[in-house]
Amino acid sequence: EKAGYKHFMLKEIFEQPQAITNTVRGRINLETGEVVLPEITLGEEDLRAIERIYLVACGTSWHAALVAKYWIEKYAAIPVEVDIASEFRYRSLLVNERVLTLAISQSGETADTLAGIRRAARLGSKVITICNVVGSTMTREADGTIYTHAGPEIGVASTKAFIAQLAALFLFTLYLSQLKRSIPVEHRRRLGQHLIDSARVVQELLPKIREQIGTMIESFYQCRDFLFVGRGLNYPIALEGALKLKEISYIHAEGYAAGELKHGPIALIDKDMPVLAITPKDSVYQKTISNIEEIKARQGRLILIGTEGDTQLEKITEDVIYLPAVHEDLNPIIYTIPAQLLSYEIAVRRGCDVDQPRNLAKSVTVE
């Protein structure tokens, strides 16, 4: 059932190209640039009238929501707020029928997220869910569902469901941009093409990165703490890397927006602190590099993940992982892979039960 893989988590990491392809298939026409999401039963008029969006989720699904905020605000020009479901369900909400609440959940059963959409619906919000489990409670209660077609996810640490959520959220962003006519059709068509192409990119990089990380972790797996940093769209990926590592290896790990380091966390940096920095050649590249220099000056043990051909990174540290250049907005899909594999390899090296970490359940159906 693990198809020759040692753990479900590893199998599921390697299933990610398929998860992207299956989630996107049939939903975007690459000749016309048209996006179709028929399971959203809300009328186009209702959706066009949406003035604000709440993205609500827990854990890894919340990280997908954080990425989506950047996409939706950029391409559909709708203000987005991202909430952790356990906060959303108890705080005062400014909700009416022109607000869309979008719940993101692999299981569709997470108690806090479910309570969140019930509350938003009672207050008059339209509700859509992005779910992986067909027929789950959230899909039955929402006004519409966008299924991620990642297939069953067994490992407690979410991997392929997250990548499929990102694909679904990017599609949904393109769909909103179509309804709102906020970007030209040709632009949407090209973005759709980039999304589809990302599956092939992930497919090609998986074995190579696994091998590289397998060697690299020998000098890192015994550490007590680990920081992950990134900027912009990759800040949520830093959070996701830290969550993955802490939940399966029990190493204390934190994710930070690189620009926040100087406001406190940089005090933690010394020669024993590993810092994985996401440094693609994107529009905030120079800014991230300045933050990295500050870490280096304090002897932090840097691992850099950047764009193929960027030799500047090798001057900063010997631990560099190169990923192919893709459209900047799709970097979160690509840069998640090394973070997942690093967590996996470290946890295995430490003898942890990666598929069934202590204290955790696959689906958190109690508050």
Give the x-and-dash track for 17-36 against ligand M6R (CB under 6 A).
Answer: --------------------
Q: Which stretch binds ligand M6R (CB under 6 A): 88-96, 106-114, 255-263, 284-292?
A: 106-114
The 3-state DSSP class for residue 38 equals: coil
The 3-state DSSP class for residue 305 equals: strand
35 Rama sector, left if φ>0, alpha if ψ -120 to 50, beta otherwise: beta
58 binds ligand M6R (CB under 6 A): yes
d(CA 112, CA 301): 38
CB of 298 to ligand M6R, least distance (A): 30
d(CA 34, CA 52): 23
CB of 128 to ligand M6R, least distance (A): 15
The smaller minimum CB distance to ligand M6R, of residues 23 and 106, is found at 106
249 binds ligand M6R (CB under 6 A): no
Cβ within 8 Å of residue 325, ≥6 positions away: 280, 281, 307, 308, 309
The smaller minimum CB distance to ligand M6R, of residues 60 and 177, is found at 60
For residue 169, report the phi and psi dihedrals to the nearest 5 degrees: -70, -35
The smaller minimum CB distance to ligand M6R, of residues 18 and 136, is found at 136
The number of residues in the chain equals 367
CB of 155 to ligand M6R, least distance (A): 8
Cα end-to-end distance, the chain, whole Å: 32
336 binds ligand M6R (CB under 6 A): no
User: Which listed residue (86, 193, 312, 363) binds ligand M6R by CB under 6 A?
Assistant: 363
61 binds ligand M6R (CB under 6 A): yes
Q: What SS3 string covers 86-110?
A: HHHCCCCCCCCCCEEEEEEECCCCC
Decide if 74 is catalytic: no
107 binds ligand M6R (CB under 6 A): yes
Cβ-in-10-Å burial (0-12, 13-18, 19+) of 68 comes to buried
110 binds ligand M6R (CB under 6 A): yes
Q: Which stretch binds ligand M6R (CB under 6 A): 101-109, 214-222, 231-239, 344-352?
A: 101-109
Q: How many residues bind ligand M6R (CB under 6 A)?
A: 17
The smaller minimum CB distance to ligand M6R, of residues 22 and 60, is found at 60
d(CA 47, CA 135): 23
CB of 131 to ligand M6R, least distance (A): 8
The 3-state DSSP class for residue 353 equals: coil
CB of 262 to ligand M6R, least distance (A): 29
Binders of ligand M6R among 158-187, rule CB under 6 A? 158
CB of 213 to ligand M6R, least distance (A): 18
Beta bridge partners of 127: 101
Question: CB 235: neighbour CB atoms within 10 A?
Answer: 25
356 binds ligand M6R (CB under 6 A): no
| Cβ–Cβ under 8 Å, residues 242 and 253 | yes
Q: Which stretch binds ligand M6R (CB under 6 A): 11-19, 296-304, 311-319, 356-364?
A: 356-364
Token duo for residue 60: 């890894």
* H or E element in which residue 162 lies: helix 160-180
The active-site residue, picked from 74, 281, 296, 362, is 362
Cite the active site residues. Answer: 362
Binding site for ligand M6R (CB under 6 A): 58-61, 105-107, 110, 113, 156-158, 243, 247, 360, 363-364
